[in-house]
């Protein structure tokens, strides 16, 4: 019989994922150990295995869920934007910054723990990343074709823009000096100004 959502088991599983995000974000995947994870959840290490398959599988699940959410919410943001190229590009960038502030742990992990993945898992996550990057590159290409953007090299520019906007998740704290909206605006302008026809 299937357990209902919110049952004890599901709550434990969610707590594990939440605690794992924090620990991996703070210490790194290799440095995190399952004793600490279990302790943070309030169970014994062996009990983790009622909810996860392995440490590696836990990492993969966290990354995969994050990437899928990122792709889906990006597509939703693009669909909701106006039809113009600049409108869509601005929507992509704004969404990226906002998402990277709000889910900085997942983002950080997905960016910097790729090397901790087993080769098959690695391939899968890298493919999802490339999917995501491809959306930006397509927008840049379109902008160049329309004559609205000046881009020296599309992939290099896309990587540079993403690196700039992603950097926010290494230092952003909700309690910081600036509002989210301000940070989104600042970063979006910075990125757009870099390539907009002057």
- Which residue ranges make up the site for a second copy (CB under 8 A)? 26-28, 30-31, 112, 115-116, 152-153, 156-157, 159-168, 170-171, 178, 182-183, 185-187, 189-191, 193-195, 198
User: Is 1 near DNA (CB under 7 A)?
Assistant: yes
Beta bridge partners of 196: 149
Q: Kindly state the smallest distance separating residue 16's Cβ from DNA, in Å.
A: 9
By CB atoms closer than 10 A (0-12, 13-18, 19+), residue 191 is buried
**Contact partner at residue 189 from a second copy, DNA, none, CB < 5 to 8 Å by partner kind:** a second copy
- Of DNA, a second copy, none, which one sits near residue 71, judging by CB under 5 to 8 A according to partner kind? none
d(C-alpha 147, C-alpha 167), whole Å: 29
28: left (phi over 0), alpha (psi -120 to 50) or beta: left
Q: CA dihedral defined by 73, 74, 75, 80, rounded to 10 degrees?
A: 90
Cα–Cα dist 104/25, whole Å? 9
Decide whether 18 or 33 has the Cβ nearer to DNA.
33
Q: Measured between alpha carbons, how far is 87 from 63 in angstroms, rounded to an integer?
A: 29
Specify the stretch interacting with DNA by CB under 7 A; choose among 39-47, 97-105, 152-160, 161-169: 39-47
Instruction: Residue 139: name its binding partner from DNA, a second copy, none (Cβ under 5 to 8 Å by kind).
Output: none
For residue 163, give every residue at least 6 positions away whose Cβ sits within 8 Å of its Cβ, in sequence order, or none.
Answer: none
Q: Does residue 136 touch DNA according to CB under 7 A?
A: no
Using CB under 7 A as the binding rule, whether residue 130 contacts DNA is answered as no
Residues that bind DNA (CB under 7 A): 1, 3, 7-10, 12, 32-35, 43-51, 54-56
């Amino acid at each position: 019989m299937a357990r209902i959502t919110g049952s004890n088991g599901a709550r434990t599983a969610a707590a594990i994922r939440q605690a794992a995000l924090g620990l991996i974000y703070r210490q790194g995947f290799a440095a995190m150990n399952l004793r600490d994870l279990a302790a943070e959840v309030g169970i014994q290490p062996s009990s983790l295995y009622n909810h996860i398959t392995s440490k590696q599988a836990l990492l993969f699940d966290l990354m995969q869920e994050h990437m899928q959410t990122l792709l889906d919410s990006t597509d939703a943001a693009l669909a909701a934007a106006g039809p113009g190229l600049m409108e869509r590009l601005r929507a992509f960038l704004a969404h990226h910054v906002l998402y990277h502030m709000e889910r900085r742990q997942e983002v950080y992990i997905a960016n910097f723990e790729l090397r901790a993945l087993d080769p098959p898992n690695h391939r899968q996550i890298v493919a999802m990343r490339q999917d995501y990057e491809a959306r930006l590159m397509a927008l840049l290409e379109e902008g160049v074709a329309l004559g609205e953007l000046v881009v020296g090299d599309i992939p290099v520019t896309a990587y540079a823009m993403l690196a700039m906007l992603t950097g926010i998740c290494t230092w952003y704290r909700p309690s910081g000096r600036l509002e989210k909206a301000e940070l989104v605006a600042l970063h979006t302008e910075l990125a757009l100004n870099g390539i907009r026809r002057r």
